[in-house]
Structure 1
Amino acid sequence: MANSALLVMDVQQTIVDMVDGGAGILPRLRDAVDAARAAGIPVVYVAIEVRKGWAAASPRSKAIAFAVRTGIFDEGGPGLEIHPDIAPREGDVVVTKRRGSAFSGSDLELVLQSRDIDHLVLAGIATSGVVLHTACHANDRDLGLTILKDACLDLDPETHRFLVETMFPQWADVVSVEDWIASGPVTAY
């Protein structure tokens, strides 16, 4: 039986404000978080922050160059807290990443190893960003994967649809939050 963790990724105030646009992802995320906690599954929050300036960024990376130029994800900046509707509680883990994947520049791998976690349940913003990058990383690490398709969101609905219907099923079980909860999230889907 797999030891699972729910990763809630990049659901920070600024990102939700930019991307959600009324999509209503927060209630589904809250349902997933509540179900994981009730089942004793660790909830790991992943947040992006980058160092100010170019100290840890290359102008060759379009995404990081944009973040550095605009200061939108500057370390310690405003709006980078986890959205209050799904805020971490005592006992939850929060890791800070520096790039697209939840593994990049964070101590996520140590957190997973210390808890003997071998299956990840992924949710977050954006499907084509942190979800895709983390799924690739996890797949390369031979971790089991479940992706909560309606607890992920992307600026481009067609990109989201393509990823959850075509690409992700090659690597992961792709299910709705409701189906994941109904299946009993104590085990991998």
Structure 2
Amino acid sequence: MSHLHKAALLVMDLQNGIVSRFADNNLQPFQKAIEAARQHDIPVIYVRVAFREGYPETSLRNKAFSRIAQYGGMTELEEATQIHASVKPQPGELVVVKRRVSAFAGSDLEVILRAMQVDTLILTGIATSGVVLSTLREAADKDFALTVLSDACLDGDPEVHRVLVEKVFPRQAEVMTVGEWAGSLQ
């Protein structure tokens, strides 16, 4: 039986409307992670959150997403939901649309990963306490091996980011910097 692991790098919620809230932050770690993955033939899969016109996916009971439906924005074709130019997908790289916080919720990500025979996920994204946390938990429950690139995760609250990467994530994932991860691929 083969024990070869097939990994994919998930670049989550690096879309214009979310990146713009983190204007002071440098996207260089994300760029370096994407570059390392491409150099080592690790598929890069982009995940973005977006809704259909009219927001049929949003429930009034969902505190976060019902506000989006109320005030507008974040539909599939809007500029806010497009992948940020600094981490633009190359031709052939997949972009998955999700409808909730986790990369798996309302998306075809799991189908794609199964078809590609991926069993290991490298997680990056904004925000650490949002998409990264939700995706990590769900992916762990789905038995994926996990690595979180701590410096390719951003959160509006630095203390929440610190607690997650230092205390919570290590229970279910390897946590390393982009540099450490890229070095491990050599």
* TM-score computed with the length of structure 2 as normaliser: 0.94
Q: Distance in 1 between matches of 2:55 and 2:85?
A: 30
**Structure 2 partner of 1:123:** 124
**Structure 2 partner of 1:144:** 145
**Structure 2 partner of 1:181:** 182
Contact 1:52–1:71 (8 Å) recurs in 2: no
Query: 1 or 2 for the larger relative contact order (CA 8 Å, sep ≥6)?
Result: 1
Q: Distance in 2 between matches of 1:54 and 1:74?
A: 8
**Structure 1 partner of 2:92:** 91
Which aligned pairs between 1:17-166 and structure 2 lie closer than 5 A? 17-18=20-21, 20-24=22-26, 26-166=27-167
1:110-149 Cα distance to aligned partner (Å, 9 max, x none): 1101110000000010111110110011011000000000
1:54 deviates by: 4.6
1:51 deviates by: 2.8
Q: Distance in 2 between matches of 1:75 and 1:91?
A: 20
Structure 2: gaps (5+ residues): none
Q: Distance in 2 between matches of 1:172 and 1:70?
A: 36
Q: Distance in 2 between matches of 1:116 and 1:32?
A: 21
1:53 deviates by: 3.6
The answer to whether the aligner puts 1:16 opposite 2:49 as a matched pair is no
Structure 1: gaps (5+ residues): none
Q: Answer with 64-73 or 107-116: which moved more.
A: 64-73
SS of the equivalent of 1:79 reads helix
Contact 1:149–1:164 (8 Å) recurs in 2: yes
Q: Answer with 53-62 or 112-121: which moved more.
A: 53-62
1:84-132 Cα distance to aligned partner (Å, 9 max, x none): 0110001211100000010011110111011100000000101111101
Q: Distance in 2 between matches of 1:158 and 1:55?
A: 35
1:42-99 Cα distance to aligned partner (Å, 9 max, x none): 0000010023445221111111112222223123222211010110001211100000
